[in-house]
Structures are given as structure tokens and as C-alpha cells.
Structure 1
Amino acid sequence: MDPRNPWQALTRPRFPRSSWPWRSAGYLVTGGLLGALACLVFLVLGVFSLFLVGLPLLLLSGPALAGIERRRLRLVDLDPAPDPHRVPDAPGLAAWLRLRAGEQSTWRELGYALLLATVLWPLDLIAVAVAIGLPGALLGTPVQLAVDGREAKAVKVYLVTSYPEAFAAALLGALLLVALAYPLAAVAGARAALARALLSPREGGSPAGIGEVIASRARLVDAFEAERRRIERDLHDGAQQRLVALTMTLGLARLDAPPGPLADQLAKAHTEAGQVLTELRELIHGIHPQVLADYGLGAALADAADRSAVPVDTDVDLPRLPAAVESAGYFAGCEALANVARHSGARRARLTARAEGGVLRLEVSDDGRGGADPAGGSGLTGLADRLAVLDGRLTIMSPPGGPTLLRAEIPCRSLSESSVSSSPRTASSSGRD
């Protein structure tokens, strides 16, 4: 398996020839520059804070810088760093500020920002100067001698007066560049671990306990989905086929029976069998639609939008995802569309789905009357529980008078990123009038 961070890369024999030394150097250099800029910003905000004008900006600078840092982590940490903040329950700047001020994550991010602006950025630049600047100065000794023509000072200390000495210094610089790449990557790994611990912490419990809970929960989800598919297959291949045969037999008997009470009863039985077959097919589709298994979540959501009683515009662009994630995303979209049709009084809805940054984001909005309440028996509580099993999150913004926005977020990784060959399917925008 390819390394995901500098600590793992250090154990590989081909580490000096990989991109990890340069990724580590880039992470530390950008950290030094960003920290210097943050130091300047904090000095300016500190002056304004004397007049109580800069205090809100000082508080909000932490989350802003943390967002940049979580993106910068991708240089040396390939595992996504999730945003720990919750989405406000109500729209507007005031609701957003109240939520952020009450979150522990906001204060951790402010602490990290102050640490970066005062302590970390000089250490980053010192590490780069030692690991790259010192070998670089030695590598440039022959150039210095050629420019001067008589002598050159290697790293401003050792006087070099001949080309053999200059090339020996350059060789030493090359060896040091390789040797110091290891401690440079170790420093970058430690910096990244500190940033992840403060900016994307795992709340509560020991790491071992959390890992076991996550693993057992994943096994339960996989077992549940496997059982759901088995039930769907048994109904499709067993009960449905028998009902089809029964319907055909009743139809043939109805044609052969002479007019009279017997023919009437056969016609009634034939009609009832046809209705039962229709209901069974709808039940099978609700358990696990075949389009979801064959073509993925994008096609299944487009199919659900086409069958909605309210016209739905779709903007869905998804690769193939793990089966449990696709199933949860599909039923989240179906439940949201069903609520739009039953409760919102909307004239039109919109469904958007993307898988970016290791997170599946599915949004359903409508222009209805709003006022959706998860405690009102609309199925939203059960949907939130279903997403929570996959470490997902459900957010609903539905002020009285509308509009309503339902957002489901599920951490995931596409099958192509998991080294499983698959081709993404795109559902283009469509509307059903």
C-alpha cells in the first residue's frame, strides 16, 4: 500500500527517490510563509482590538486560517481532514456567529492560529533552512569559485581555493541533502499530526475504543446491506416468479372458462393477482432497486427524481461509491423527495449530489411552505439515525414560509480511489413537468 503520510514514507527504501521529501519541504515552506502573514494580521487586529473593533475578526481568524490549514495538510497527509464545525440550523450571519462562538473547535482553531503565528512558522523555516539551505550552499560552492575566480567560502565558514575542494564540498552537499531529507520529513509529519489533532480532532473515547466501534459499525452496515440484497433477490427470483406463473395460469383459465359465475370469479382472481404482483415489484424496488446495484447512486437518484410527484431538477455527478454509502445516499434522497411531495406543497424541487474531498454531499431543496420538523414524524429522525451509522450528518434548514434545504453528508472514498476499477456515471440535469 502506498504511504499516506511522511511517517509511513520514511519506512520505504525508495523514500529519497519519492516525492515525499519535496512534499515535506513544500509543506514547511508554505507553513512558514502563512505563519508570517498570520503574525502580521494578528498584530494589526491586536491594535484594532484596543478599540473593541478587531475582537470579532480576531475570533473568526482562527476558523478562516484552519480552513486553509486543512487544505494544506493534503501536501503531507493524504487522508481527508474533516471540518469539525456543524452547519447552522437557521440561515443568516447571526445564527452562524452564535454557533461558531459556542463550539470548542472554534477556540481550538484560534489557539492553533496563535501558535502558528508566534512559534511554529519560525521553526518551519529553520527546519527548511537547515535541511535544504545548508546542502544547497555546499552544492553551489563550484559556482561561487567560478564567479570569484580565486576563492569561495563554503557556507560562509570554510575557505575553498581549488576546484577539487569545491567539488568535494558539492558532493558533501549532495549527501547531506539526501541525509537531511529524513529529519525534514519527520518534522513535517510531526507538524501535520499537530495540525490534525487541533483542527480535526476525534472527540471522546480512546483511539482503540473508537477504532473498534467504527470497525464493528462498518461490519454491521455491510451485513445489513448484504441481507437487504439477499431478501430482494429471494423475492425477485422466488415469490415474484411464482406470482407471474399464477397470473398467467389464471389468465389462461379465464379464457377457457365458459361465461358464468366461474368465469367472473377467475377474472376477479386474475385481477387481484396482477395487483399483488404490482405491489410486490414496488416492494422489491423499495428494498434495493436494481438500478442502484447495476449503475450506481447517480443513476438511481436520477430515476427517483423522474418518479417523483413534484418536478425535480437534478445535478448529480458521482463515481461508484461503496455499497453502504450508495444505499444510504439513495434512501436519503428518496425520503427527502417523498417529504417534498407529501408535506411541502412545493411546485418544484432540486436534487444535487457530489462526492468531493472524501465526503458525499447530497442536497434536496424545494420552494414549499417550509417548517419541516424532524420531531413531527416525517421520517427525518430515522433518516438521521441511518446516516449516523455511517458517521454521516443530516442538516435541515426549513424556516416557516420556506424554502427548505435538506443536506446529507456521508464520509466515503470512491471505489476508484480504493483501487477498484470502475467508471463514474453522470446524471445530467433534467426536469419532469
Structure 2
Amino acid sequence: MGSALRTGPRFLISSWPWRALLAVVCGGVLSALTVIGLVPIVLLGLTRSLRAALWEPMLRLHCMRLRLIDPDTAVRADSRVREASAAHRLPTLRHVTYIIATAVSGGAVFCLAALGFAVAAVLFVAPFIVRDDYFDFGPWVIDNSSAAWITAGVGVLAMLVLLILIGAWSALEALLARSLLTPDSDRWRHEAVRIEGSRSALLEAEGFERELLESELHDRVQHRLVALSMNLGLTEAQDTNGPAGRLAAEAHRQVDETLGELRAVLRGFSPRVLSERGLAPALTDLAADLPLDIDIDLDNNRLPPAVEHMSYVLVAECLTNVARHTEDARVDVHGTRTGSRWILIVSDNGPGGAHIVDGHGLDRLQRRLAALDGQLTVTSPPGGPTTIRMECAV
């Protein structure tokens, strides 16, 4: 309605003035119904179920009337009323304020509009009245046809002005409905839901790309290196003591080292066993290749792929740090799901002194964990032990 009013004269040749007029008429009817139903609403609305049964139809009728002047707000308001009714939260203070405000203002505006159009209609029919008699309008007496036609023009102008004023009132009423029935907090809540959905989609896309890259490295690059290693082995066997055999042996050794490094990268990046069998088997395979005493105790239930990957990368980073700085260390990995939260704790009996350094492994993990609505804490006093705790939503 507000956008239509800003179009200027085109507002009068659109359907919006008549929609505003119909909204005012419906507002007067709803105002009367509200006044009539005030006593049963107060007396019967003592329980949650009765309040919902009484208030929901009333609020939804107002939403239907609101469709005439602001369809978007009406749809959102109707949805919010349904949600509040399902949660047995009717009526809220905003709902009561809106009903009372529209009952008072709707009845008053309806009466004023009816009076205004009645006066404008009398002015408009002045030429027909003067034809048989004179026309007495307050202190003005109109007794000739020329003055009567001028009066009729004033009546038409008054009707147009009334339509504009009713449109402006409807725009203000739509603004009131947006403030009380669909407040900004709801709009920000919906925006938060949209952002959360976008973040989840980005995490899923990242997981898909990671699995695709892991598959390419595992199925193509690693297989090509294995085939090359076999060919170099055959060449080495054919000329064991010759220069070609020695060169093939050296190349064979380098290819084997490259394969070992590639497998290590795959294990730390996104091993296939993680996506196929879950976090516990993947960590068991990871621990088997490290010279550490590692105890793994995890819930058996599968987690979302992004959470499993983040947990795997965190444990891999922790185990790598322990293996690099501590000899004969013992590491305990404990993970549990509590409600909608996943808690993973990695502790070791090392010398301690670990902390998060900007730009290093734990700092990067902490930043990535924020995308999962999670946090990373490090407790590592001098002399140990070191405990790294990860918590995120699942």
C-alpha cells in the first residue's frame, strides 16, 4: 500500500484504493466482533487450549484482512500465528496490543470513513436535489444549477481525497502489523536460519570436493605410482648389477618414498575409511602407523561428515605433535555425543607447554571449527599433561 501511494496519481486508477476501502469495512466488522467477543474471551480464555482456540481464529481473520493491503506481511503474520498456536503461546503481549489497537482504531476509522463518504455523496447528488428544491448544506444554501454542479465536483474531489487518506491509513496499519505481528526479531531469526542453511551447504560442498580430491589421488595418482614402481622393479631385476639396474633401483626407492608420503597425506587429509566406516576405524588405522601408546574410546554412532572430518584432522594434528616432541608418550582419545553437542578430548602425558599459535595447526583448526558452531580449548601447564578439547554442534 505504501509503495502504491508513492506512485502519485496512478494510485487512484489502481485497485489499491478499493482494497484499502474494503480493508476499512472489514476492520469495522472485526472491531464490532472483537467488542462483542471481549467478555467470552476474558471469561473463557483461562487455559492454554481455550486461549489458542479463541485467539487463533481472531488473529487469522486479521491476517486475512491484512492481505488486502500488505500480502507479504499477512503471510508472515499468519505463519507466526500458526507457530505460536502450535506451541501454546497465544496470545502474546504483541497479539493483545494489536487486537486492542485495531479494535479501537478500526471502529473509529470505519465510522469516520462512513461519515465522510456520506457527506461526499450528498455533495455529489446536489444537482439532482436542486432540480426540485434548494440545497441547504449548513450555512451554505445552493439554489441554482451552476452552484450545484460545483458542489458535485467538490463531492467527487472529497471522495478522491478520502480514498487517499484511507490508503495512507492502511499503510500505517500495515506498518503497525509488521511491528507487532512480524517484529524485527523474527526477521533476524529467519535470516539466521538462512545463514545457517548456507553454512551447512558450504560445509557439504567442501566435504564433497574433499572426497572427490581424495578419490582422484587414491584411484589415479597412487595407482600410477604403484604401476611405475612395479615397472622399475622389473627393470632393476633384469639388470641388477648394471648401470641401468642401479639407476632403476634408485628411482624405485624414490617412487616408494613418494608413495609413502602420498599415503601419509591421504591419511591426514581425508582417508577413504573415514567416509566409508566412520571416525573410530579411521583413527585406529591412523594410530597403527605411529610409535605411540594410543587408547581410543569413541561413541559408535556415526556423526555428520563435516564433524567426523574435523575430529579426524584434530586427532591427526595432536598425534603428530606428540610424536614429534615426546618419546614413549601415552595418548587418550575420548569422544562422546551429548544431546546435540559432540565433545572430543585428546590428552597426553607429555611435558606440556602447548598453546595455540596464530597461523599454526591448532589455530587453523580453531578457525575451521567455528564454522561448525564449535570451540577448541587447550590446557597444557608446564610439566603436563596436555588436554585438547573440541566441542561442536551435530
TM-score, normalised with respect to structure 1 = 0.47
Query: Of 310, 314, 318, which aligns to 1:328?
Result: 310
Q: Which residue of 1 aligns with 2:387?
A: 405
Q: Render the CA deviation track for 1:157-192: whole Å, top value 9, x for unaligned.
A: xxxxxxxxxxxxxxxxxxxxxxxxx989615998xx
Q: 2 CA distance for matches of 1:235 and 1:318? A: 29
Query: Of 278, 289, 293, which aligns to 1:307?
Result: 289
Alignment of 1:188-337 (within 5 A): 206-257=188-239, 259-337=241-319
CA contact (8 A) 2:48 2:90 kept: no
Unaligned 5+ runs, structure 2: 1-45, 52-83, 93-184
Measured after TM superposition, the shift of residue 318 of structure 1 is 3.0
Query: Of 322, 342, 347, which aligns to 1:365?
Result: 347
Q: Relative contact order: is structure 1 or structure 2 higher (C-alpha 8 Å, sep ≥ 6)? A: 1
Q: 2 CA distance for matches of 1:399 and 1:320? A: 33
Matched, 1:186 2:186: no
SS in 2 for 1:320: coil
CA contact (8 A) 1:366 1:404 kept: yes
* % identical aligned pairs: 39
Structure 1 consecutive aligned stretches of length 4 or more whose deviation exceeds 4 Å:
126-131, 182-185, 187-190
CA contact (8 A) 1:346 1:369 kept: no
Q: 1 CA distance for matches of 2:241 and 2:328? A: 50
Q: 1 CA distance for matches of 2:87 and 2:234? A: 78
CA contact (8 A) 2:214 2:272 kept: no
CA contact (8 A) 1:364 1:406 kept: yes
Measured after TM superposition, the shift of residue 229 of structure 1 is 0.8
Q: Which residue of 2 aligns with 1:395?
A: 377
Larger radius of gyration: 2
Q: 2 CA distance for matches of 1:216 and 1:303? A: 33
Measured after TM superposition, the shift of residue 292 of structure 1 is 0.6
Measured after TM superposition, the shift of residue 392 of structure 1 is 1.1
Unaligned 5+ runs, structure 1: 1-125, 132-181, 191-202, 413-433
Q: Render the CA deviation track for 1:205-245: whole Å, top value 9, x for unaligned.
A: 92233223222222221111111111111111111111111
- Structure 1 pair 284–368 and aligned structure 2 pair: CA distance change class (3 A): closer
Q: 1 CA distance for matches of 2:296 and 2:90? A: 43
Measured after TM superposition, the shift of residue 295 of structure 1 is 1.0
Report the AA paired with residue 321 of structure 1: L
Matched, 1:342 2:342: no
Q: 1 CA distance for matches of 2:240 and 2:377? A: 62
CA contact (8 A) 2:375 2:392 kept: yes
Measured after TM superposition, the shift of residue 283 of structure 1 is 2.0
Q: 2 CA distance for matches of 1:184 and 1:242? A: 60
CA contact (8 A) 1:345 1:369 kept: no
Measured after TM superposition, the shift of residue 306 of structure 1 is 3.5
CA contact (8 A) 2:268 2:316 kept: no
Normalized per residue, the structure richer in helix is: 2
CA contact (8 A) 2:373 2:393 kept: yes
- Structure 1 pair 189–311 and aligned structure 2 pair: CA distance change class (3 A): farther
SS in 1 for 2:237: helix
Q: 2 CA distance for matches of 1:271 and 1:309? A: 23
SS in 2 for 1:312: strand
- Structure 1 pair 404–318 and aligned structure 2 pair: CA distance change class (3 A): same
CA contact (8 A) 1:369 1:403 kept: yes
Report the AA paired with residue 88 of structure 2: A
CA contact (8 A) 2:236 2:248 kept: yes
Q: Which residue of 2 aligns with 1:58?
A: none
Q: Render the CA deviation track for 1:11-47: whole Å, top value 9, x for unaligned.
A: xxxxxxxxxxxxxxxxxxxxxxxxxxxxxxxxxxxxx
- Structure 1 pair 270–307 and aligned structure 2 pair: CA distance change class (3 A): closer
Alignment of 1:70-109 (within 5 A): none
Report the AA paired with residue 213 of structure 2: I
- Structure 1 pair 184–279 and aligned structure 2 pair: CA distance change class (3 A): closer
Report the AA paired with residue 186 of structure 1: H
SS in 2 for 1:383: helix
Alignment of 1:29-48 (within 5 A): none
Q: CA RMSD in A?
A: 3.2
Q: Which residue of 1 aligns with 2:364?
A: 382
TM-score, normalised with respect to structure 2 = 0.51
Q: Which moved more, 1:321-330 or 1:255-264?
A: 255-264
- Structure 1 pair 367–189 and aligned structure 2 pair: CA distance change class (3 A): farther
- Paired residue total: 225
